């Protein structure tokens, strides 16, 4: 045991760490999500924050007791992160690297706790404390990372993917531009191509037959809604692979001039669904994939009521502005700044502010009568709300690009980027 751990100051230090626990969780989570791109790419913000909370709690327990808690299994949130890494083809070293990067951020934030502790216990030397705590931290990191190999083996065994893994490899190679081929599994990489993504709302696993049948329904709906067929009768009508047990990547050949489709009637309630725009050929195959990835991430983050319905999420090309909003999923701090600057007092969550923003948004898109219909209110009420909003604008016109974009950002991301409602 080091000097600080043997001393009577140990209990006081543990008490200081416990008092700082919540602020450490928030600051470490926010900094890691901002500074470590690989963590943002996982798109598991809740699980990552939970894993930070678990790690900090275990660190405090280790400082207090000199050992980790009795359970040798990783907490559920970190297990989910491990599964996500495996499904993306990442190896054990990636997990260890991410843990070390995150723990370095934790140590930066712990420094402020140690400085505050020494101020309150001025008979103890900061340099000595930092030396002692570095030794204890190294022990904690070694014990924590020793749990990772077994966790990786356990989660890899669970991730027995449906579908054909050889086709998944071919798709990955084509998407990564490491190979150019005319077709994958008899699916022609030419003509009009549209990508879709399906993932289970409850994180349950697909069966191969379930994914195939649902993909057939989706492509049939697109074909039925078209005014002319796709013209690839000798080819497979769709291509599907499973990068994880709960996620399906799909492509099909739609016809031209699609009519509107009632996707709620096509997609079962247990699935989320996004559909890319239609593009052409091999480059279109790759681009539709990127669009679908972006739209899925937007679907996972948005609070827009037309997207989140009946405990599931659906985004299609019918949702105007979705691809633009998807570009802000990784830029939410910038989106928040833009909303604050453009909307002023209406850049916060609140019943009144929410109603006024939505009224102005509909007014700019559909005019006074359309806004009244959308908001189910009288046109005079629409005018009153629009006037109140215009009065809040120092110089900008309400139909300026900045205001329009800010209203869309507030609509799609809601409380994630809006200031909290006044509690008074």
- For residue 141, how many other CB atoms are within 10 A of its CB? 16
Residue 239 has which token pair? 């291509």
DSSP classification of residue 414: G
Q: For 279, list phi and psi in degrees, rounded to 5.
A: -135, 175
Contacts of 209 (CB under 8 A, 6+ apart): none
DSSP classification of residue 307: T
Calculate mean pLDDT across residues 264-278: 93
Dihedral of CA 124/130/135/141: which sign? positive
- Domain coordinates of the chain in residue numbers? 3-158, 165-318, 332-416
Residue 381 has which token pair? 């009420």
Can you give the pTM of this predicted structure? Answer: 0.62
Q: Which segment of 54-68, 217-231, 234-248 scores lowest on mean pLDDT?
A: 217-231
The closest alpha carbon to 17, from 131, 106, 143, belongs to 106
- pLDDT classification of 245: cutoffs 50, 70, 90: confident
DSSP reduced 3-state for 187:
strand
Asked if the model's pLDDT at residue 224 lies above 90, the reply is no
**Would you state the pLDDT for residue 1?**
42
Asked if the model's pLDDT at residue 59 lies above 80, the reply is yes
**Would you state the pLDDT for residue 316?**
92
| Interval 137-176: pLDDT, tens | 888 888 888 888 888 887 776 667 788 877 888 898 899 8
For domain 3-158, say whether CATH 1.10.490 is its number.
yes
Q: For 42, list phi and psi in degrees, rounded to 5.
A: -65, -25
The answer to whether residues 361 and 408 touch, using CB atoms and an 8 Å cutoff, is yes
Q: Output the average pLDDT for the chain.
A: 86
What is the C-alpha separation between 382 and 386, in angstroms, rounded?
6
**Would you state the pLDDT for residue 90?**
77
Burial class (CB in 10 A: 0-12, 13-18, 19+), 418: buried
Type and span of the H or E element at 359: helix 351-375
Type and span of the H or E element at 265: helix 263-266
- pLDDT classification of 256: cutoffs 50, 70, 90: confident
Q: How far is CA 251 from CA 74, 236, 368, in A?
A: 36, 10, 40
Calculate mean pLDDT across residues 367-393: 91
What is the C-alpha separation between 76 and 82, in angstroms, rounded?
10
């Amino acid at each position: 045991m080091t000097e600080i751990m043997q001393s009577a100051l140990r209990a006081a230090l543990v008490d200081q760490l416990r008092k700082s626990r919540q602020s450490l969780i928030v600051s470490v989570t926010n900094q890691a999500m901002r500074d470590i791109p690989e963590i943002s790419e996982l798109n598991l913000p809740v699980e990552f924050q939970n894993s930070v909370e678990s790690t900090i709690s275990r660190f405090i327990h280790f400082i207090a007791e000199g050992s980790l808690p009795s359970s040798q299994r990783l907490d559920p949130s970190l297990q989910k992160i491990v599964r996500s890494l495996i499904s993306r083809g990442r190896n054990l070293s990636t997990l260890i690297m991410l843990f070390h990067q995150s723990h370095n951020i934790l140590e930066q934030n712990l420094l402020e706790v140690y400085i505050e502790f020494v101020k309150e216990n001025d008979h103890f030397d900061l340099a000595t404390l930092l030396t002692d705590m570095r030794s204890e931290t190294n022990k904690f990191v070694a014990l924590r990372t020793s749990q990772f190999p077994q966790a990786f083996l356990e989660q890899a065994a669970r991730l027995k993917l449906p579908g054909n893994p050889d086709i998944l490899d071919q798709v990955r190679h084509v998407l990564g531009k490491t190979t150019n081929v005319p077709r994958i599994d008899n699916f022609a990489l030419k003509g009009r191509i549209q990508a879709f993504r399906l993932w289970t709302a409850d994180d349950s696993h697909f069966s191969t037959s379930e994914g195939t049948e649902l993909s057939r329904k989706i492509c049939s709906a697109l074909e039925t809604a078209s005014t002319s067929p796709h013209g690839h009768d000798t080819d497979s009508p769709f291509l599907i692979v499973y990068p994880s047990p709960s996620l399906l990547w799909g492509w099909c050949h739609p016809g031209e001039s699609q009519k509107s489709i009632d996707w709620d009637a096509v997609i079962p309630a247990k699935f989320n669904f996004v559909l890319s725009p239609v593009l052409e050929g091999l480059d279109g195959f790759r681009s539709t994939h990127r669009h679908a990835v972006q739209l899925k991430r937007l679907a996972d983050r948005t609070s827009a009521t037309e997207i989140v319905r009946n405990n599931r999420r659906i985004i299609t090309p019918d949702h105007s502005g979705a691809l633009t909003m998807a570009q802000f999923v990784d830029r939410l701090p910038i989106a928040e700044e833009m909303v604050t600057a453009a909307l002023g007092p209406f850049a916060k969550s609140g019943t009144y502010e929410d109603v006024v923003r939505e009224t102005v948004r509909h007014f700019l898109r559909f005019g006074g009568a359309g806004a009244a219909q959308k908001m189910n209110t009288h046109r005079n009420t629409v005018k009153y709300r629009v006037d109140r909003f215009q009065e809040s604008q120092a110089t900008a016109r309400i139909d300026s690009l900045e205001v329009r974009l800010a209203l869309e950002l507030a609509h799609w991301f809601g409380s994630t980027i809006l200031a909290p409602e006044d509690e008074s």
